[in-house]
Amino acid sequence: MSANIRNKVLIIFAHPALYKSRINMELVKEVEGLDGVTFRDLYDEYPDFLIDVKKEQESLRENDLLVLLHPFYWYGCPAIVKEWVDLVLEYGFAYGRGGDALIGKKIMSAIATGGTEDDYKRDGMHYYSVREFLNPFERTATFCGMQYLPPFVVHGAINMKMEDIAVYKSLFGQIIKALRDGEMDLAELQGFKYINDYFLEKYKSWSI
């Protein structure tokens, strides 16, 4: 295991039809097997939706950063991710009396949208921004005492060329490793809409 690891990372992934998603397949390939990263595919792990709550809670206890990786479905997440949140982040564990297991931990959404960034503006197709649609995740994090990081977002995934997908794939891997190794200024990061923007600002050699 890398000696640079400062934050152990748990990636919770879900895509009900992964074979149809070029971008998600590539993002998964980039982070599976990384030192200090635990990767869990919910649809593989729980095809019957019967989530092992205690197992998942133990994984959260053992890790410092939770990443929710999934496509942006109807302005939210696939059903099993909501089921995971509903069951695992329960009273007495994540909030309420004795529910202090997640205090001080970090959480980040990592999503891919079919629409372009311009679609997620007041004069665009979807009116609200991605950050506004992700408010329930941010408020859940805050309620549980976690620090919500700006999301990793890939826009326009449906029509994206493979060479552009390769760039996002590598970018995602670099971001996960930088978070794992404690290389990002998390206070400064909060001033950015997406974590992509922060990374590209700090690492000028990158471009998309």
In eight-state DSSP terms, residue 133 is: H
Establish if 3 belongs to a structural domain. no
Q: What is the pTM of this model?
A: 0.94
Establish if 207 belongs to a structural domain. no
Establish if 208 belongs to a structural domain. no
CA atoms within 13 A of residue 181's CA, in its CB half-sphere? 13
> What residue numbers bound the domain in which 116 lies?
9-202
CA distance 101 to 60: 8
List the CATH number of the domain containing 102: 3.40.50.360
Establish if 48 belongs to a structural domain. yes
Close Cβ partners of 107 (under 8 Å, ≥ 6 residues apart): 65, 66, 67, 68, 137, 141, 146, 147, 148, 149
For residues 53 and 45, the answer to whether their CB atoms sit within 8 Å is no
pLDDT at res. 19 = 67
Establish if 4 belongs to a structural domain. no
pLDDT at res. 146 = 98
Establish if 1 belongs to a structural domain. no
Please state, as a whole number, how many other Cβ atoms lie within 10 Å of the Cβ of residue 188: 11
Q: Which has the closest alpha carbon to 196: 180, 139, 173, 181?
A: 173
Would you state the structure tokens that stand for residue 130, as one six-digit string?
């991605």
Per-residue pLDDT of the chain (208 residues; tens, 9 = 90+): 556 889 999 999 999 876 677 888 999 999 999 999 999 999 999 999 999 999 999 999 999 999 999 999 899 999 999 999 999 999 999 999 999 999 999 999 999 999 999 999 999 999 999 999 999 999 999 999 999 999 999 999 888 899 999 999 999 999 999 999 999 999 999 999 999 999 888 876 655 5
Per the structure, the count of domains in the chain is 1
Establish if 28 belongs to a structural domain. yes
pLDDT at res. 202 = 82
Give strand ranges (E) for 42-92.
65-71
CA distance 185 to 158: 32
